[in-house]
Structure 1
Amino acid sequence: MKESSHSAGALSGRQKAAMAAIVIAGALAVAGILFWPAPHGEDDGHGHGGETPAGAPADEHADDGLVKLSEAQAQAAGIRVAEAGPGVLRPTREFPGEIRFNEDRTAHVVPRLAGIVERVSADLGQQVRKGQVLAVIASTSLSDLRSELLAARKRLDLAEETFAREKKLWEERVSAEQDYLQARTAREEAGIAVQNAAQKLQAVGAAGQAPALNQYQLRAPFDGTVVEKHMAMGEAVGDTTAVFTIADLGTVWAEFIVAPQDLSAVRVGEKVSISSSALNETAEGAVSYVGPLLGAQTRTATARVTLANPGMAWRPGLFITVKVLRGEESVAVAVPADAIQTLGDDSVVFTAVPGGFKAQPVKTGRRDGLRVEVLEGLAPGARYAQTNTFTLKAELGKASAEHTH
């Protein structure tokens, strides 16, 4: 009985071992199904790549530049496939620059007569209209000029009356012709004196009427913004001091520095794109000026773009990047710059192959910052990974490292 019992116990142990082997084999089979790449269907143009999950056999092909990815993995990684074909390059040259006032629309307002400031009507940053009063200055010189004009007008009135009387007497043969001619000459001289006095006032910008003879009204020369102010009430100002600076910010200058070797690429009329890291926008324009001389210190030339600024976003002092567009160039094969990766000393494009992507060495040519010309290695019509190719490069590097170990 004891032997039978021992035999039954041993049989039970063998049964347990068999059952454990069956469970392990089943688990391995499931793992193989889960981690084996999905079968590759017909390419629909949406992509073939993504990160290979742990256990995928990418390392088996690291040496030939093949990355095995299923279509689902490629879609998950955001890799888009495109056909190689012709493209248009727009070569650019970048230059650092700065926004400045349009000096053709900037005025340094100077009182044309010395005096004492009685009132200041404009402040920094204020928008002003053409002819708007900025300040009132009391000037003894202006008082003298206006008094001269008033006196000249009085003398002209008297000369007109005398001339009319002498003319009538001469026509009636009562007075001599000489008296008539003298009266006419006096009238003409009085008229000249009035014109002279009026033009003096006009020259100093005080031709209009004023509440007092000595009040000089300083006015804005055009619509703009007060960007500088150097006066206060009660201050004595001279006739050579700029007390206001008015700038029309509706247009500004985008100035940039050009080295001598780059002058051939920057010509008047060339189209440019202007951007700034501080603004989320770009502006288009054309080169309006290229300096004919090099700076004595910098040995560079200054170029300029007159830029429309309706929203006042491009403020003077803002640092910018100016891209000079050098026309358009058609090429047989062009790919996005992001599609090109570097492996060792080679530039590669990841071409779509059954089951994944293969790193294809290429020879590149011209580029414009967005697109790159491919001279060799990628034929027109070939399908390649257009976006997120850094994922494929990383996967290939990881597989190569695993293969080495």
Structure 2
Amino acid sequence: MQLIKPLCWILVATCLGISPIHAAEDQHGDHKEAQHDAPETKGPHGGLLLQQNGATVELQIFEQGVPPVYRAWVTTDETPVTDDIDLNVQLTRLGGQVDNFDFAFQGDYWQGNGVVTEPHSFDVQVTLALNGKRYQWQWESHEGRTRIAADIAESAGIRTAEAGPGSIERTLTAYGRLTTAPEQMARVRARFPGVITRVDVRLGDRVVKGDRLAQVESNESLKTYDLRSPIGGVVSERTISVGEITGEQPLLAITDLTTLWADLQIFPGQRNKLAVDQKVHLKAEGVDRQATVNHLLPSSDNAPYTLARVEVENTDGALSPGLLVAGDIVVERLDVPLAVDNRALQSFRDWTVVFVQVDDTYEIRPLELGLSDSTSTEVLGGLQVGDRYVVENSYLIKADLEKSGASHDH
């Protein structure tokens, strides 16, 4: 089943576009009819040629060893123009942001007064005032952009979130095992010596408080009495069978496994970073749990480490004593002005990107990233607070763009 079906693809072979619409004004301001012919050649510097009535602008995004900037070469009747022009490039980006570039002569070319930030995806308008005439070119130069109807995005499970402040957690990783707290185990003995006449449970059975576990016939009274479970839990030990004689030894053990302890080993170099009540992200056998440090204890065998004891919720029974466990203990929490969900991050060309959404249009945003943890990453550049970006199933949009063969050729 095809999950994404763009309404249209507007991806071009150069970041300056291959389908400009030329329009010109004469010195009286009269508009000439727009032309729709796409230029098929580039200029001697590798830029896009914009031509109209003897005036030519070769426009290039130059980024060899420098941040991307506009360079332009202007000629009239094949003669280079080095002064007395007014050249402006206006870029309208997805979402309505407008970037304006005015040009100054640099000895061999005209250079725009700013960086052309990524993505190079915008509607372009170039205006040239020269010798009393005014020329204008307009075209679409879209890359890394696609349109997806709202109902298709919904059915594909594409979900978005609003970019904003976040918190990054610095963690310390420790390892240990899951254990059972002593108070969560109850050993059942016979109240009076006698003969086991009935056993109602097997090893591993779950019981609730008050369930009958076995029956014993008293040696003194010859009357039968019940052994009942003092707590709810799992039958973790059973040492009796019908016909055996009871003594003072435990006959059964019931263990409450709804909570467990994770005993994490903390070595001397880590100890000064830890404190009671710090948050812990626990992982064991593919199961994730959130918990807090309850106690910091010396090891029971005089080993050179401290135990960080963490109470682990286990009402679903997915964990069991003895399992190896890893714990990421949060030792610092840093608030940052802008962060994104890690699920949103995708690799695209040489960038790490998210996909922003404006109505039914989606487009890449290359990011400059900072601190990161298991769930979020700080954004230093490339995204604005309030931008809506794809969190869930962003890989579907990446696959759709890669399928289109989008290019980044200046």
- When normalised by structure 1's length, the TM-score is 0.49
Q: Please say which structure displays the higher CA radius of gyration.
A: 1
Structure 2 length normalisation: TM-score?
A: 0.49
Q: Which has the higher helix share?
A: 1
Choose between structure 1 and 2: higher strand proportion. Answer: 2
Higher RCO structure (Cα 8 Å, ≥6 apart): 1
